[in-house]
Chain A
Amino acid sequence: MGKIEWAMWANEQALASGLILLTGGIVGVAGQFRGWEFAAYSVAAGVFVCLLEYPRSKRAKGTSVERTGQYCFTVCVKAFGPLTRNYYVRAFLHAAICVPGGFMLATVLGCVCLGIASLIYLAVSC
Chain B
Amino acid sequence: MGLNIFLFVWFYFVYEHGEEFYYTRHLLGPALSWARAPAAVLNFNCMLILLPVCRNLLSLLRGSFVRCSRTMRKQLDKNLTFHKLVAYMIALMTAVHMVAHLLNVEWLNNSRQGVYDNLSTALSNLEEDTDDSDHRTTYLNPIRKNDIQIPTYFVFTSIAGLTGVIITLALILIITSSMEVIRRNYFEVFWYTHHLFIIFFAGLVIHGIGYIVRRQDEESYEEHDPLFCHNRTEDWGKIPECPIPQFEGGPAQTWRYVIGPMVIYLFERLLRFVRYMQNVQYRKIVMRPSKVLELQLVKKGFKMDVGQYVFLNCPSISQLEWHPFTMTSAPEEDFFSVHIRSAGDWTDRLIDIMEKMGVDGPFGTASEDVFDYEVSMLVGAGIGVTPFASILKSIWYKFKDNDPNLKTRKIYFYWLCRETHAFEWFADLLKAQEKEMEERGMGDFLTYKLFLTGWDQSHVNYVMVNMDRETDVVTGLKQKTHYGRPNWDKEFEQVRKENPTSVVGTFLCGPEALGKVLEKKCGKYSDVDPRKTKFYFNKENF
Task: Give A residues with C-beta under 8 Å from B.
Answer: 1, 3-6, 8-9, 12-13, 16, 20, 23-24, 27-28, 31, 33-34, 56, 59, 62, 65, 104-106, 108-109, 112-113, 116
Closest CB pairs A-B (n = 6): A105-B151, A12-B176, A105-B152, A13-B176, A4-B186, A33-B106
Q: Do residues A34 and B176 form an inter-chain contact, with CB atoms below 8 A?
A: no
In the bound complex, what is the Cα–Cα distance between A5 and B165 (angstroms)?
Answer: 28
Residue of B103, B150, B172, B176 near A9 (CB, 8 A) is B176
A28, closest chain B residue (CB): B102
Task: Give B residues with C-beta under 8 Å from A.
Answer: 95, 98-99, 102-103, 105-106, 109-110, 150-152, 155, 165, 168-169, 172-173, 175-177, 179, 181-182, 185-186, 188-189, 345
Residue of A3, A4, A5, A27 near B103 (CB, 8 A) is A27
Q: Do residues A12 and B177 form an inter-chain contact, with CB atoms below 8 A?
A: yes
Q: Do residues A113 and B169 form an inter-chain contact, with CB atoms below 8 A?
A: yes
Shortest distance from the beta carbon of B163 to any chain A beta carbon, whole Å: 13
In the bound complex, what is the Cα–Cα distance between A33 and B115 (angstroms)?
Answer: 12
In the bound complex, what is the Cα–Cα distance between A20 and B176 (angstroms)?
Answer: 12
In the bound complex, what is the Cα–Cα distance between A2 and B1 (angstroms)?
Answer: 41
- A105 in contact with B186 given A9-B177, A112-B169, A113-B169 (CB within 8 Å): no
Prevailing SS type, chain A contact patch: helix
Number of A-B contacts (CB under 8 A): 72
Shortest distance from the beta carbon of B173 to any chain A beta carbon, whole Å: 7
In the bound complex, what is the Cα–Cα distance between A15 and B177 (angstroms)?
Answer: 12
Q: Do residues A106 and B175 form an inter-chain contact, with CB atoms below 8 A?
A: no
Q: Do residues B106 and A34 form an inter-chain contact, with CB atoms below 8 A?
A: yes
Q: Do residues A13 and B173 form an inter-chain contact, with CB atoms below 8 A?
A: yes
Which residues from chain B contact A1 at a C-beta distance below 8 Å?
188
Residue of B168, B173, B186 near A5 (CB, 8 A) is B186
Which residues from chain A contact B106 at a C-beta distance below 8 Å?
31, 33-34, 105
Which residues from chain B contact A106 at a C-beta distance below 8 Å?
102
In the bound complex, what is the Cα–Cα distance between A20 and B110 (angstroms)?
Answer: 24
In the bound complex, what is the Cα–Cα distance between A23 and B110 (angstroms)?
Answer: 22
Shortest distance from the beta carbon of B38 to any chain A beta carbon, whole Å: 15
Q: Which of A4, A20, A62 has the most CB of B within 10 A?
A: A4
- A8 in contact with B185 given A33-B106, A108-B152 (CB within 8 Å): yes
Which residues from chain A contact B151 at a C-beta distance below 8 Å?
33-34, 105
- A65 in contact with B181 given A105-B102, A105-B151 (CB within 8 Å): yes
Residue of B165, B173, B177 near A108 (CB, 8 A) is B165
In the bound complex, what is the Cα–Cα distance between A123 and B412 (angstroms)?
Answer: 54
Q: Do residues B189 and A9 form an inter-chain contact, with CB atoms below 8 A?
A: yes
Q: Do residues A16 and B189 form an inter-chain contact, with CB atoms below 8 A?
A: no
- A12 in contact with B181 given A4-B188, A4-B189 (CB within 8 Å): yes
Which residues from chain B contact A4 at a C-beta distance below 8 Å?
186, 188-189
Residue of B150, B173, B185 near A116 (CB, 8 A) is B173
| Sampled A-B contacts (23; CB under 8 Å) | A1-B188, A4-B189, A5-B186, A8-B181, A9-B186, A9-B189, A12-B176, A12-B182, A13-B172, A16-B172, A23-B95, A31-B102, A34-B106, A105-B102, A105-B106, A105-B150, A105-B152, A105-B155, A109-B165, A109-B168, A109-B169, A112-B165, A113-B169
Q: Do residues B102 and A3 form an inter-chain contact, with CB atoms below 8 A?
A: no
Which residues from chain B contact A3 at a C-beta distance below 8 Å?
345
Shortest distance from the beta carbon of B83 to any chain A beta carbon, whole Å: 19
In the bound complex, what is the Cα–Cα distance between A124 and B25 (angstroms)?
Answer: 49
Which residues from chain B contact A62 at a C-beta distance below 8 Å?
185
Which residues from chain B contact A104 at a C-beta distance below 8 Å?
152
Which residues from chain B contact A24 at a C-beta distance below 8 Å?
102
B179, closest chain A residue (CB): A12
